[in-house]
Amino acid sequence: TNPFILTSNSFIVGEIYWMVLDGCDGNVCDYTINVLSGSTAGGPPADPGPITGPIQVCQGDTEAYSMLPVDAATIYNWNMTPNLGGISDNDNNANISWNTPGTAQLCVDVANACYSNPNVSCLTIEVLPIPTATLSGSGSFCKEGALTPVDLTVTFTGTGPWEFVYTVDGMPQPPVTTSDNPYTLAISSSGTVALSSLMSTTGSCVGTVSGNVTITETAISPTATATDPLCAGDGTGSISVSVSGGASPYSYQWTPGGIGQNPTGLPAGTYTVTVTDDDGCTGEATVTLADPPLLVASGTSTQGVDCNNPTGSISTTVTGGTGGYTYQWSPSGSGPNPSGLPDGTYLATVTDANGCTDTLSATIAIDTISPVAAASTPGMLDCAQTTLIISGSGSDTGPNVTYQWTGPGIVSGGTTLNPTINQPGSYTITVTNTVNGCSETATVVVGQDITQPVAMATAPPITCDNQSVNIDASGTDTGPNFTYQWTGPGIVSGGTTLNPVVNQSGTYTLTVTNTANGCETTISVSVPEDLTPPPAQANAPPITCDDPTVTINGNGSATGPDISYQWTGPG
């Protein structure tokens, strides 16, 4: 059977025995023998030794305690006085659950089945309570100005000193260790403050925390509204301030200047106001007063008085100020760009929409000075000089001067100082200044000499008696300015004179040139030839005795005034 009962006079209650069976399948040692009764007793147990384990514990902790095994002891009795927890023992070892704070004696006595030892081993245990920390208080501080921390209160239970950690808006702060209870916690920033952990430094007991406090900032929020000066530099600006937050009444401190909540009469610039409330919290606002752009008016003459324009005009330029300009002119004129004005100096006062003013001055100049015009000719037209370049030399010149010639025979250059002409007559140059439109004229008369020289010539015939003859040009113009040139078939001499000698019949041409004007006249003359002998016939009767003298005759010979007769013979 299993279990089965063994009996022996030497068994001792509490001792462990082993039974070895041999003969089955080797040595089998898997039977435990418990001595229940009827055993023989040994001697009394020895004195219990010291208890080891923590002597300072935290409420709620379970700690292990032990002592060395005691000889002959089979029974260990663990107990505490007063009862601050629960004991779970196993012979010389025990686990104690400390449930109640206080001071207790933890003791152990030993015994065996027959004997007990009256000596007791004890250990004094301090059970520290679970610490608590509670955060309380309220407050706020100025967002601007000197920082005054807010003091909160941390109240503890349990045994100090305490070490705790707190957070501001969830951000852990450095641990704080204190023996003060309550403890003043100074907070220098806004947010929600909460305790996150607690431990008593005595026994390192972890505690519980509670409470959170929200600290607000008192913000003084001034708003400054600027009203800029009306005109540049006139110091008519103003500022109005409204304030939110904080506690009234408020005071105002201005830099660089200004009085009260709504200062006036301020020049352009940047102003800072510090507003202080009744609690001393401050807020600051900065505002800039800006001058409008400086009103600057200027004027210039866009058209002067000249030969093209009997009146002038003025154009103005206005910058800065505030639009909507008006103009007051002296001695006359209206609007920003007056016209139809005589020459002179004009003043205008320009006023903008804010009443700011500036003055301008503009002068309309007069320029009616005519340019200089001059005309001349180097000579006259003639047979040699059929064109001339007349001159405007002495007239004004320059990029702003133009020229225009008029006359009967302008060949080229009619818009230059030196045109070419080919007819006699009056030629007028008009010189114009294109800047002022003024012009001037000058006239030159070009003459012409084309008188032809007189040429006349006669010639005798060449005859048997006159084998060379002189052509006669009497009646032809003579003088130092005349030259003569003969051409023909038989000029012997005098070909450049009025009476050339020729020895051949034919046509001879005389060219008479007037060297003063280059004009020529050409005539031709014919030199005849008469070399035919006249008929001659002689008739005679015979000489006789009766007529020893006879008359011979030339009857049948040529007759006439130009015929002469000459007889020759012996008698």
pLDDT digits (tens, 9 = 90+) for 202-244: 888 999 999 999 988 888 899 999 999 999 999 999 999 999 9
Q: Enter the tokens of residue 543.
A: 């000489």
Contact 209, 271 (CB under 8 A): no
> CA-based angle 478:484:490, to the nearest 5?
135
Buried b (16+ CB within 10 A) or exposed e, 60-77: bbebebbbeebebbbbbe
pLDDT at residue 6, as a whole number:
64
User: Which token pair is 412?
Assistant: 């080229």
Query: Residues 319, 389: one domain?
Result: no
Residue 247 shares a structural domain with residue 285: yes
Cβ contacts of 546 within 8 Å, gap of 6 or more: none
Task: Please name the residues in contact with 532: beta carbons below 8 A apart, sequence gap of 6 or more.
Answer: none
141 and 177: one domain?
Answer: yes
Distance separating alpha carbons of residues 391 and 388, to the nearest angstrom: 10
Looking at residue 69, which CATH number applies to its domain? 2.60.40.10
Q: What's residue 188's pLDDT?
A: 85
pLDDT above 60 (res 10): no
Among 267, 289, 311, give the residue marking a domain's end: 289
At 554, give phi and psi (nearest 5°): -110, 30
Where does the pLDDT of residue 356 fall: very low under 50, low under 70, confident under 90, or very high at 90 and above? very high
Q: Domain range holding 549? A: 536-564
The type of residue at 513 is: T
In a domain, 239, yes or no: yes
For residue 372, being part of any structural domain is answered with: no
Q: Tell me the two tokens of residue 361.
A: 């001055």
Of 358, 350, 356, 354, nearest to 227 by C-alpha is 354
For tokens 């920003």, name the residue.
336
Residue 186, domain member (yes or no): yes
Question: Of 364, 393, 421, which residue is a domain's last?
Answer: 364
Strand partners, 206: 199
Q: What is the pLDDT of residue 97?
A: 96
- CA 337 – CA 302 distance, rounded (Å): 9
The last residue of one of the domains, among 449, 476, 509, is 449
* Confidence (pLDDT) at 175: 96
Identify whether 146 is part of a domain.
yes
Does residue 145 surpass a pLDDT of 60? no
Q: Smallest Cα–Cα separation from 449: which of 392, 384, 508, 394?
A: 384
Average pLDDT value for residue range 387-410: 97
CB 307 within 8 A of CB 366: no
Using the structure block, give the residue that is written with the tokens 């113009």: 477
* 211 and 143 inside one domain: yes
Asked if residue 121 has pLDDT above 70, the reply is yes
pLDDT band of 281, cuts 50, 70, 90: confident
522 contacts 454 by C-beta, under 8 angstroms: no
Cα dihedral 415/420/422/423 (nearest 10): 50
Question: Is residue 552 in some structural domain?
Answer: yes
**How far apart are alpha carbons 321 and 53 in whole angstroms?**
95
What mean pLDDT is reported for the chain?
91
Pairing of strands 296-303, 357-364: unpaired
Residue 280: which of 307, 259, 249, 302 has the closest Cα? 249
At 53 the pLDDT is 96
Distances (CA, A) of 424 to 373, 389, 421, 536, 550: 21, 12, 8, 67, 83
Q: Are 262 and 235 in a shared domain?
A: yes
In a domain? residue 225: yes
Q: What confidence tier does 417 reach under pLDDT thresholds 50, 70, 90?
A: very high
Q: How far apart are CA 351 and CA 356, in angstroms?
A: 5
Residues 178, 122 share a domain: no
Which positions ≥6 away from 346 have C-beta within 8 Å?
299, 314, 329, 330, 331, 332, 333, 338, 361, 362, 363, 364
Token duo for residue 10: 């030497």
Tally of CB atoms within 10 A around 431:
24
Contacts 24+ apart (CB under 8 A), 519-523: 519/382, 519/383, 519/449, 519/450, 519/451, 519/452, 519/453, 520/383, 520/452, 520/453, 521/452, 521/453, 521/454, 521/455, 522/455, 523/455, 523/456, 523/457
Higher pLDDT, residue 41 or 455: 455
Q: If you count DSSP H runs as helices and E runs as strands, how many of each does the chain have, helices first? A: 0, 48
Residue 35 in domain: no
Same-domain status, 143 and 194: yes
The two beta strands, 212-218 and 140-142, are: parallel
H-helix or E-strand spanning residue 155 = strand 150-157
- Residue 263: inside a domain: yes
CATH assignment at residue 208: 2.60.40
Total count of domains within the chain? 7
Q: pLDDT grade, residue 438 (50/70/90)?
A: very high
Q: Are residues 432 and 482 in the same domain?
A: no
Q: pLDDT tens, 23-70?
A: 445 555 555 666 565 555 568 999 999 999 999 999 999 999 999 999
Residues 169 and 107 in one domain: no
Question: What is the pLDDT averaged over residues 118-127?
Answer: 96
In this structure, the answer to whether residues 144 and 203 fall within a common structural domain is yes
212 and 232 belong to one structural domain = no
Sign of the CA dihedral with 341 first, then 346, 351, and 352 last = positive
Instruction: Check whether residue 205 and residue 182 sit in a common domain.
Output: yes
